[in-house]
Amino acid sequence: MEITEWSIRPYHPTERQEKTFYSIAKEAFAYGSPWSPAQFQETLAREELFFYVAERHKEIIGYIGGQVLPDDGEIYTIVVGKKYQKQGIAEHLLRAFKEECTRQGAASIFLEVRLSNKEAQAFYLKNGFEEIGIRKNYYRFPKEDALLMRCSLRKKEKDV
């Protein structure tokens, strides 16, 4: 049995934690938060999106969010506060996201990651994603290409 000091749960838009989400991203991402507090407020209120949070003593320490389209899921953001990284939290967040995508009938999950972010790429590869393409000039601050990655959620017919 794994004992942790943190837990994963669905996030509810009524919680109004956009400032918390922003401050975690601002500290954890190399180029600061990709979204402003107002963009987090707008994004977290969108009904078609879903988020999971990691909490420690009722404090949000990480999150993942995105949506499921008719056949595929897409991760828009995943981040864990700097002092809580390397503890398996991101893997648990990703697992919760995958389970929700599977529940909603998604066949795959897609995401983009900076070409320079080799640590994140290694994390995604370790967790079932594969590299499938490049999106030119996807990131703006600073300008950089994105690596497009996909994780298949369904076994191939011959494996069943």
Active site residue 124: yes
DSSP code per residue over 100-159: HHHHTT-SEEEEEEETT-HHHHHHHHHTTEEEEEEEEEEEETTEEEEEEEEEE-S--GGG
Active site residue 47: no
Q: Which residue in the list 112, 138, 144, 157 is annotated as catalytic?
A: 112
Q: Which residue in the list 22, 52, 124, 139 is annotated as catalytic?
A: 124
Strand-pairing partners, residue 110, are 74, 150
- Inter-residue long-range contacts of 10-15, CB under 8 Å, 24+ positions, other chains counted: 10/50, 10/51, 10/52, 10/53, 11/44, 11/50, 11/51, 11/52, 11/53, 11/63, 11/65, 13/44, 13/45, 13/47
Helix (H) or strand (E) segment spanning residue 80? strand 72-80
Q: Which residues are known to be catalytic? A: 112, 124
